[in-house]
């Protein structure tokens, strides 16, 4: 494993020096199809994305709300697989070697591919980090620790119910950043109150020594700016997926209109996050 900082660590160090929060959009790989999804992924950095979360579609996404569940079903219907998702990253890396890419999903597709095979393929493709929502710290030997040995950051989720007794286990083997789920629930709901989020960010940074990203339920530039004043990053997924779905309903055959709907919203969110401080 290289001794140089990961793309994720390097990006957060740059942002800290610039005194601004990161904007991290989430899109589902293969939604609504491979080519449109890849085009959108390639356009996100110019729209203000500092890092990108790329969803791995799965048949039973228990932590996801209706918008992201629907995105996963569209991707599966279009033939998306984990191998195709890794191929998307390879294609992206031909043009962009700087933007960190984080794969987010569930353990089953990784397990089905085989952990060693998946990690080797992910590293080779240019993946920087993993968020696997259904692997608790007690299962770190399953994927988290092997990922670290491969040179991939393993990013853990913390929630409002993560108490002081649980927190050390959550952050012990986490790297890259900590993802704070601002509400106890599924994606796409309301975010937590400002003072609650601010307090949680401070607590997680003190416990982990890592940047803290806040997500779940961020839908407007105003809310993105509020979170960016205290958090190191703002994550937006459902709002972008909803924009894609709306454009898809109107113009199913227009890839440009679909990607434009998402990147326009992404830019407004990114601008708000970047100018909040």
Residue 76's CATH number: 3.20.20.70
* Domain-embedded: residue 1: no
Distance (Å, rounded) from C-alpha 68 to C-alpha 229? 27
* Domain-embedded: residue 169: yes
* Domain-embedded: residue 186: yes
* Domain-embedded: residue 277: no
Please give the residue range of the domain that contains residue 171. Answer: 7-272
Q: What is the pLDDT of residue 260?
A: 97
Q: What is the pLDDT of residue 56?
A: 98
Nearest partner of 205 among 248, 167, 234, judged by Cα: 167
| Cβ count near 250 (within 10 Å) | 11
Rounded mean pLDDT for each run of 10 residues along the chain, 277 residues in total:
79 97 98 98 98 95 84 97 98 98 97 98 98 95 98 96 94 97 59 77 96 93 95 96 96 90 98 96
* Domain-embedded: residue 11: yes
Distance (Å, rounded) from C-alpha 56 to C-alpha 192? 26
* Domain-embedded: residue 25: yes
Half-sphere exposure at residue 232, Cβ-oriented, CA atoms within 13 angstroms: 25
Instruction: Kindly list the catalytic residues.
Output: 53, 64
Lookup: tokens for 257? 């209109």
The pTM (predicted TM-score) of the whole model is: 0.94
> Strand 157-158 and strand 153-154: pairing?
unpaired
Overall domain count for the chain: 1
* Domain-embedded: residue 2: no
* Domain-embedded: residue 227: yes
């Amino acid at each position: 494993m290289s001794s140089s900082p990961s793309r994720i660590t390097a990006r957060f160090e740059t942002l800290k020096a610039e005194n601004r929060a990161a904007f991290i959009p989430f899109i589902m790989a293969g939604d609504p199809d491979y080519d449109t999804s890849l085009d959108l992924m390639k356009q996100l950095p110019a729209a203000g994305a500092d890092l990108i979360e790329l969803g791995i579609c799965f048949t039973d996404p228990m932590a996801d709300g209706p918008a992201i569940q629907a995105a996963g079903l569209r991707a599966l219907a279009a033939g998306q697989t984990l191998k195709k998702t890794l191929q998307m990253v390879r294609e992206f890396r031909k043009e962009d070697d700087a933007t960190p890419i984080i794969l987010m999903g569930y353990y089953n597709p990784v397990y089905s591919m085989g952990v060693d095979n998946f990690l080797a393929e992910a590293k080779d493709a240019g993946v920087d980090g993993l968020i696997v929502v259904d692997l608790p710290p007690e299962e770190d030997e399953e994927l988290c620790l092997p990922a670290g040995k491969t040179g991939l950051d393993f990013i853990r989720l913390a929630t409002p119910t993560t108490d002081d007794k649980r927190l050390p286990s959550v952050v012990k083997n986490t790297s890259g950043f900590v993802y704070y789920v601002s509400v106890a629930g599924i994606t796409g709901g309301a975010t937590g109150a400002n003072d609650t989020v601010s307090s949680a960010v401070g607590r997680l940074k003190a416990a982990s020594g890592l940047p803290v990203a806040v997500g779940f339920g961020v839908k407007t530039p105003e809310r993105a700016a509020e979170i960016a004043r205290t958090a190191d990053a703002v994550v937006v997924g459902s709002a972008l997926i909803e924009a894609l779905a709306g454009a898809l309903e109107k113009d199913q055959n227009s890839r440009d209109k679909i990607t434009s709907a998402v990147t326009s919203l992404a830019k407004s969110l990114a601008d708000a996050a970047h100018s909040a401080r």
